[in-house]
A and B are shown apart, each in its own frame.
Chain A
Amino acid sequence: MPNLIISQTDDGLQAYIAKKDLELAVASLEFQQADRWGGNIILADGSEFYIEPLSEAPSLPKTLRARRAG
């Protein structure tokens, strides 16, 4: 269960994996609606995580627990 810090940059969303001390651009995020946010998240290096979808879009940056997927 790694911690991901998701933040908004000029070039879109960015994820920071605290454990790996690694910054990567977010390639895709499953749900980005105002009332549903999260789900499968794919990072620029191809690694996949799953964030339990939130019922509302969080104010970024936000630390989220993620599960390794794929």
Chain B
Amino acid sequence: MSMDKQTTQAMIDEVLEVYPEKAQKDRAKHLAVNETNGEGKCITSNRKSQPGVMTARGCAYAGSKGVVWGPIKDMIHISHGPVGCGQYSRAGRRNYYTGYTGVNAFGTMNFTSDFQERDIVFGGDKKLSTIIDELETLFPLAKGYSIQSECPVGLIGDDIEAVAKTKKAEIGKTLVPVRCEGFRGVSQSLGHHIANDTLRDYVLDGTDPEAAQAEAGEYDVAIIGDYNIGGDAWSSRILLEEIGLNVVAQWSGDGTLTELENTPKVKLNLVHCYRSMNYICRHMEEKFGIPWLEYNLFGPTKCEESLRAIAAKFDEKIQAKAEEVIARYRAEWQPIIDKYKPRLQGKKVMLYVGGLRPRHVIGAYEDLGMEIVGTGYEFAHNDDYAKTTPEVKDATLLFDDATGFELEFFAEKLKPDLIGAGVKEKYIFQKMGIPFRQMHSWDYSGPYHGYDGFAIFARDMDMTLNNPCWDKLTPPWKQEKDSEAAAA
């Protein structure tokens, strides 16, 4: 289906009708029709959600503990505050890592100070310092601690920085107080920013790049903003290593504190998730003179583009190797496309994800002959939309911080064959009879990065879309038609 701008605009106008005047005015700025020539109106983003609507956004704590700090495996991340924030987000993001959980790796464990009424009344600093002592006894191999504040810590005004400073002097390990109280900012995006700032202040600034343990090599690179969801960073890393680069650090999927400390010596920072880790790249660019490059390893077309772009930053030896790798993998992905493309050709996809996927996965879908009819971000900024516009076709629907109502409305109007969004949307759309993939943590599958990941991606999309179970469900709009027809 090729859409035209009028139809898409009409759909936007229709969805806006339900809102009261003030909310309507605000929401109108967040919905747009794509114009690839860049002449379309600028979509408003990174604004407070309207009260009373169902938003899919997270909080600053989610951005810091869940996204940026959480995957660093050899540190203990203390969820400082009530027990729920840590417990309900525990291990949900599937940041894979190697190591012995509870011995030298702590990724899937939940550490919390479990605030009670007493701690709110008298402050939780004492408890925090007790916990750190206890953790030191129980987990002596932990390389450091991060204190991830939950809302009450900010509200009662605890001085976690002071505790961190005292304890750091006492135990001699990296201790990072992170002021990522959930109420800060409009979405998890500020949590990423705060986490990046603490990485800068407590990890990078605390280390002397000259004294870093690793010897600097000519082809050292760091993977930034890959959280190893379902093993994504591993399937990216092997490609980079095959073209001759030396991956020094993974920020932060399957990453360690030592890796982070060694990063200031790399030659190039490779940024996967720009939204959550651009801050630290900016800092390293200014302070250490490390250039950075955004890359995209979803689907063979983008893999080839990215590998060439990365190789172009290095010498001819790397460039020749990149071509070799690209040629070698062609024999691997061509059969995958031959197998799945006929089954998926022309299917329409609607996306609503987080920081980079609404634009990055488009290439992978297009490689399979699928079409993107609508895409949107939960917590993007203006630069994300500027990068999305050229990726999607003219007249494609764009939505920022879409509400539950809008998403359901768009699904009914656009009639996508597949929806890719988060777990909050998953069961609603499945009950509507629309094939759905949870695109935040790959629906318990993955990795999707690289050539190896593409094989899994293609299989998963086929498995979901062509699953016979969808015929057994009737979407609400079809039900209505049937009953109308019966009445007539």
By a beta-carbon cutoff of 8 Å, the part of chain A in contact with chain B is 5, 7, 16, 21-24, 61-63
Contacts and interface: CB of A to CB of B under 8 A. Distances in A.
Binding site secondary structure of chain A: strand
A61 B286 contact: yes
Given A7-B285, A21-B193, 7 more contacts: A7-B282, A21-B381, A22-B46, A22-B382, A23-B382, A24-B382, A61-B282
A19 to B, nearest CB: 10
A21 B285 CA distance: 17
12 contacts: A5-B286, A7-B282, A7-B285, A16-B282, A21-B46, A21-B381, A22-B381, A23-B382, A61-B282, A61-B285, A62-B286, A63-B286
Contacts of A21: 46, 189-190, 193, 381
A21 B382 CA distance: 10
Contacts of A62: 286
B209 to A, nearest CB: 18
Nearest to B192: A21
Q: Which residue among B190, B193, B282, B381 has the maximum number of chain A CB atoms within 10 Å of its CB?
A: B282
Contacts of B382: 22-24
A61 B189 CA distance: 23
A24 B385 CA distance: 12
B170 to A, nearest CB: 33
A61 B286 CA distance: 5
A21 B275 CA distance: 10
A21 B355 CA distance: 14
B215 interface: no
A24 B386 CA distance: 10
A7 B284 CA distance: 13
Contacts of B193: 21
B338 interface: no
Interface in B180-210: 189-190, 193
Nearest to A14: B383
A5 B283 CA distance: 10
In the A-B complex, the 4 residue pairs with the closest CB atoms: A23-B383, A61-B286, A61-B285, A5-B282
A63 B285 CA distance: 11
A63 B200 CA distance: 15
A26 B382 CA distance: 15
Contacts of B282: 5, 7, 16, 61
A24 B381 CA distance: 11
A7 B286 CA distance: 9
A36 to B, nearest CB: 22
Nearest to A63: B286
Nearest to B186: A21
Contacts of B285: 7, 61
A61 B289 CA distance: 9
Q: Which residue among A16, A21, A61 has the maximum number of chain B CB atoms within 10 Å of its CB?
A: A21
Nearest to A5: B282
Nearest to B197: A18
Interface in B41-87: 46
Contacts of A7: 282, 285
A55 to B, nearest CB: 20
B205 to A, nearest CB: 14
B204 to A, nearest CB: 15
A42 B286 CA distance: 22
A10 to B, nearest CB: 12
B286 A23 contact: no
B431 to A, nearest CB: 36
Contacts of A61: 282, 285-286
A16 to B, nearest CB: 7
Contacts of A23: 381-383
A23 B189 CA distance: 14
Nearest to A25: B386
Contacts of B46: 21-22
A2 to B, nearest CB: 15
A53 B282 CA distance: 23
A5 B46 CA distance: 19
A32 B76 CA distance: 48
A21 to B, nearest CB: 6
Nearest to B386: A23
B41 to A, nearest CB: 13
A23 B190 CA distance: 15
A13 to B, nearest CB: 15
A2 B308 CA distance: 38
Contacts of B189: 21
A29 to B, nearest CB: 18
Interface in B358-391: 381-383
A22 B286 CA distance: 18
A24 B285 CA distance: 18
A22 to B, nearest CB: 6
B286 to A, nearest CB: 5
A56 B2 CA distance: 53
